[in-house]
Amino acid sequence: MIELPVDELLASLQTGLLVLARIASMLMLAPVFGERGVPQTVRLMLVLPLTVLVLPLVPVADALTMFSAAWVWAMAQQVLIGISMGLTLRLVFEAFALAGELIANSMGLGFAQLADPVRGVNTPIVGQFLIIVASLLFVATGAHLTLIEGLVGSFRDRPVAQTALDWASVRLMLDWAGSLFAGGVQLALPVLAAMLAVNLAIGVLGRSAPTINLMAVGFPLTLVLGLLMLRWLLPGLAELLTQWLDAAWPMLEQLPGGV
């Protein structure tokens, strides 16, 4: 009679579930992979093969009683680690969204909001445009492949049962978010400065010539100048995204389970 190694099978199953939890939670928030426009079937077809490929590289975790407190804690830790990894890169795109929202409001296009299928919220049209550009650049530069490669390598270097998220990692994430949002404001500053100069000029014109219809002059002027400034910013978006991603990879290495 063939005896099945039940203990080994159970340990492998539990390890596979831990691997699945980290991969699925990371891809849920990662740029491109985690967009709402990506069908759930496509995500499942990506998560399951990655789990099967990664499992032989991961040391088998100690057997835990299913649904015990220790097992639930281990699963929660892997989910938190995956979320922190995906959120690290997602914040790069949120910085572009912040810059787009500031630019749109300064141009008088804050009311022009569309339902964003990528983020699931209403986004000013300029912010949605910048997110689309950033997504295309993310794929064009091969960053999505680097992300998957690093994710697979993280399981080899950091076993799932021996890695947990700590408060130092949380503080690191908060600092990273602050630096990115500051970068988003800096990205929008040239347009904001130009729009401020235009509004000051329109205000002076209104005081010197009260009969002029400022709405008929000011809105087209701010819109055209804002579009010209946005066109001026476009060539530098690829370099800026590359700089932020170059800073993101070392930051991910400092996280538990990072790439």
pTM of the model: 0.81
Which segments of 158-213 does DSSP mark as H helices, in order? 167-208
Residue showing tokens 């995956």: 82
How many Å apart are CA 77 and CA 168, to the nearest integer?
Answer: 15
Amino acid at 7: D
pLDDT score of 182 = 92
Instruction: Give the tokens for residue 1.
Output: 């009679």
Q: Report the length, in residues, of the chain.
A: 259
**Among 65, 69, 67, 61, CA closest to 18:** 61
Residue 120, Ramachandran bin (φ over 0: left; ψ between -120 and 50: alpha; else beta): left
Which segments of 30-160 does DSSP mark as H helices, in order? 40-54, 69-107, 125-140, 143-157
Give the pLDDT of the chain (259 residues) as one tens digit per residue: 445 466 667 777 777 888 888 899 888 888 888 877 777 888 888 888 888 888 887 776 665 666 677 778 888 888 888 888 888 889 999 899 889 888 888 887 766 666 565 556 667 788 888 888 888 889 888 888 888 888 887 777 666 766 667 778 788 888 989 999 999 999 888 888 888 888 888 888 777 777 777 777 777 888 888 888 888 888 888 888 889 988 888 888 777 655 5
